[in-house]
Amino acid sequence: MLKIAPSSLFMRNLWQTVTVFIISISIFVIYVWSAQMTKYADDQLIEATLLADELRMTTNGLTRMARGYIVNGDPLYKQGFQKIIDIRDGLQPRPSGHHQSYWDLILPGERNYLTKTSETASLLELIRRIGITKAEFAKLAEAKTNADAMSRMEMEAMSIADSAHANRDKALFFLDSIEHHKAKVAVRDPIDDFYTMLNTRLSTVHNKAEMLSHYLLGVFALMAFLSFFMLWRIYKTTYAILGTSVDNLHAYIRDIGNGNFSTPIVVKSGMEDSVAQWLSKMQIKLKELLFANERLKNLYSALSQCNNAIVRHKNEKELFSEICRIAVNFGGMKMAWIGMLDEENSHIKPVAFYGKGTDYLEGVAISTNPADPSSQGPSGRAFHDNNSYWCQDFVNDSLTLLWHERGREFGWGASAALPLVRNGVPVGVFNLYAENVGAFDEPSQKLLKEMAMDIGFALDNYASEAVRTKAEEQIEYMAHFDFLTGLPNRTQLQDRFAYTMNLAKRQNGYFTIMFIDLDHFKEVNDSLGHSVGDILLVEIAKRLLSVLREEDTLSRMGGDEFTLLLPDTDYNGALQVAQKLLDIFDESFLIDKYELTLSVSIGIAIFPIDGADKETLFKNADSAMYRAKKEGRNRYCFFTEEMQQNSMRKLSLSNALRHALKRNELEVVYQPQISTGDGKIIGTEALLRWHHPELGSISPVEFISIAEENGMILSIGEWVLHTAVTQAKTWMQKGMPPRIMAVNISAVQFHHSNLQEVVMKILNEVGLSPEYLELELTEGMAMQNPKKAIEIMNNLYAEGIRMSIDDFGTGYSSLSYLKKFKIYKLKIDQSFIHDITTDTEDKAIVVAIIAMAKSLGLQTIAEGVETLEQLEHLHEHGCDEIQGYYYSKPLSVEAFEIFSHKISI
């Protein structure tokens, strides 16, 4: 059997198909012609019917116009009557379209929907144009003639209504007459006959054309089917030769020519010897060669770009983002991401990513614990094994089971996970996703490992650089800023001061220095701890900064002291700023669970009035600050010349006081305390005096505060206590009656941790019973920290030591705390005693204190009694003891012994 070559079979089928196609086209042309004939008949029927209807409607419209005119007499109806006749006879232009009802009356003000044209053809002329038969036209011409006769009758009726003897009823009767009705029937009947003739003729034409169309349509359908069959044979023959469609073949050849091998050529079974099969084999070979070459080229390019990025970037964040971008744009990867170890929860979290599919990284956290299932993927294994992991078939590898669906969605054929090492320890993972299965061959793996090593090298350098930079920044920061508050320190303040002073000198301007000291801040540290104190200092710094300008400099000089530099600020400006600083301390500070209320003392010095150099301005501001403290704290004070003199004396006294003990310049004197009942000595108060060889006698009021500030108060206080206790014991040994020795203690002594230990040590050394020692503390001292005061008093009371409140009435004692204090005596301040006989307020205060003391079971002693009247008044109101110049001034040991002997006789 002869086998026909595919090409010969193809040509024979082609010519047969062309023949059938030409025959089909001829039949289709005849079919279209018959359809047009049918349409023409339909159009003629519609047009003729519309014109016949127009003749009928204009006849009815004329009758309505005539009747309306006769009834109403409105000339609009008569005008409308004539208009209808003129348009129908072609004397006026017709409205566009035969369907426009120009036979209806349009009153004034109504919208006219008729659109006029320039056409003035009569109705009969229009009927003649549509091509109807003579018989049909004769019927319509007959109807038109009868309609004209009817119109003349209606015009005659309107003439009757217009006559001198107008009789509208007669005119209406004429329109309703038998003659008028016959005229109307004479118009209607020929029109009905026309409809019948027209429909009969056109139905016949339509039926013949429709039959021809059906026949031709059947033949055309048969030929079309035959054409499709022939085309199908050509298609099958062509498909067998090509092995695929022409479009596919064209696309295959185009892709191969352009070097695009992304879409594989798929050849169906039975097409092994086709053009497509050979193209497929060629594509596979070329793709393998080009892909291997391109992959290595991309990876070499990526490695080069990676090294350039390592040189350019100075931190991990920038480098990682660039590495991921390079892996995708230069390395040919679909997606790349870098995860770093979060040491807080021991998970690897993405820090940089690039490419298609990065959405799935949101919320990803890979455990570094091998026992955790989330660590068993490629990234987790690469990290805890510190070894690269290659997944050559991503969507079929069991290790990536959890991500197979993602891999299919984003087209991941293979993946790689390489550990990133810093200083020999894994700290992250470099993850890459390639499009093709088996993408990471041995040469590719080698290049990627080299890239990971280069990144690790960069991490080592970053770590070293970070340590060095951090150390430098820390040194730089500590050199210029306070570590706790972040405020400029002394060094930076000096720099800014020098700049501000130079600027002020050039411009003949002003600037202000303020020394700010927190009042009683030590109590916060002592009672709540330094951690709370540090937090409070930070909050205070923030609050101070909140009311300052950007150009102002607030510096912490150490402890609870701040210095404020205010450029271009004179007296008035300094006054406003100082008041703002005081105001911001009106609101308490909430630190942890504590609500703390503080105040500040501010000293102010202004350039150049109060000094022309740094040392002078700072010294003067400091003097003003101490004056503010001395005057009661919670205030500001401007520097004055008097302060300068006081500051110099204070400095001189402070220096001299440091040597006073060694040089025996200090002396303890004793003032007797007398019972108001029998006038006998019942106790003694030890008072400190300082006799300087050059400065003379110095008041305790002046030098005690200096001793507290320079730290000498502890040693001096211990010396006074030891001297007084020793003297009390000596007098007892000499046979004098045992008397209580009262010794004043300062706030520093009272709050010192070893007060009880020092007192008991002295008593034990001297051998004096504790019941003969009375420690006096001021009212304000006890109320600074009542709870702490109660604790100290309780400890001393447990040892048998007496406690009393000195200067009572000048502080702000709370009765609820006063009754908790382990005291036995209240000493009424001498400021109330001086005018007790003349000032009713002082008298009332003293009486109240005595009454309150008795109600609490306490004794009272009045100090500063100088007259008999004062003594009698105090005795009258029940004061237990007095002390003052009325009996004796403070005496030396020898003088006291003489006085004691004299008063006991």
More confident residue, 628 or 115: 628
Look at residue 666 in the predicted model and tell me its pLDDT.
93
More confident residue, 514 or 750: 514
Taking residue 274's Cβ as centre, other Cβ atoms within 10 Å add up to 19
Give the whole-number percent of the chain exceeding pLDDT 70. 90
Among 7, 634, 67, 594, CA closest to 275: 7
- Cα atoms in the Cβ-side hemisphere of radius 13 Å centred on 315: 7
Q: What average pLDDT does the chain have?
A: 83
CA-CA distance, 410 to 653, in Å (whole number)?
A: 87
Per-residue pLDDT tens over the stretch 49-82: 888 888 888 888 888 888 888 888 888 888 888 8
CA-CA distance, 293 to 276, in Å (whole number)?
A: 25
Look at residue 646 in the predicted model and tell me its pLDDT.
67
Per-residue pLDDT tens over the stretch 521-579: 888 888 888 889 899 999 999 999 999 999 999 998 888 899 999 999 988 888 899 99
Give the whole-number percent of the chain exceeding pLDDT 90. 25
Residue 2 banded pLDDT, cuts 50, 70, 90: very low
Per-residue pLDDT, averaged over 130-151, amounts to 86
Look at residue 105 in the predicted model and tell me its pLDDT.
55
Look at residue 180 in the predicted model and tell me its pLDDT.
84
User: Does position 98 have pLDDT exceeding 50, yes or no?
Assistant: no
Instruction: Quote the tokens at residue 865.
Output: 């009694």
Return all residues near 625 (Cβ < 8 A) that are at least 6 apart. 515, 516, 517, 601, 602, 603, 637
SS in 3 state form for 744-793? ECCHHHHHCCCHHHHHHHHHHHHCCCHHHEEEEEEHHHHHHCHHHHHHHH
Per-residue pLDDT, averaged over 771-788, amounts to 80
Instruction: Quote the tokens at residue 794.
Output: 């309780």
Per-residue pLDDT, averaged over 855-876, amounts to 92
User: Does position 603 have pLDDT exceeding 70, yes or no?
Assistant: yes
Instruction: Quote the tokens at residue 129.
Output: 């144009």
- What letter does residue 894 receive in the DSSP assignment? H
Residue with tokens 């005539």: 66
Q: Which among 82-91, 203-212, 254-263, 502-511 has the top mean pLDDT?
A: 502-511
Residue 121 banded pLDDT, cuts 50, 70, 90: confident
Per-residue pLDDT tens over the stretch 612-630: 899 999 999 998 998 888 8
Per-residue pLDDT, averaged over 506-527, amounts to 90
Per-residue pLDDT tens over the stretch 632-657: 889 999 987 765 566 677 778 888 88
Per-residue pLDDT tens over the stretch 328-368: 888 888 889 898 988 888 888 888 889 888 887 877 888 87
Give me the torsion for CA of 854, 860, 864, 870, rounded to 10°. Answer: 40
User: Does position 892 have pLDDT exceeding 90, yes or no?
Assistant: yes
Please name every residue paired with 787 in a beta bridge, in sequence order, or none if there are none.
none
User: Does position 99 have pLDDT exceeding 60, yes or no?
Assistant: no
Look at residue 106 in the predicted model and tell me its pLDDT.
56
Return all residues near 565 (Cβ < 8 A) that are at least 6 apart. 493, 496, 497, 500, 511, 512, 513, 552, 553, 554, 555
Look at residue 875 in the predicted model and tell me its pLDDT.
92
Among 169-173, 222-226, 458-462, the minimum mean pLDDT is found in 222-226
Q: If 0-12 CB within 10 Å is exposed, 13-18 middle and 19+ buried, where does residue 643 land?
A: buried
More confident residue, 471 or 555: 555
Per-residue pLDDT tens over the stretch 407-457: 888 888 898 999 999 888 898 999 999 888 888 888 888 888 888 888 888
Residue 472 banded pLDDT, cuts 50, 70, 90: low
Per-residue pLDDT tens over the stretch 652-673: 888 888 899 899 999 999 999 9
Return all residues near 573 (Cβ < 8 A) that are at least 6 apart. 512, 566
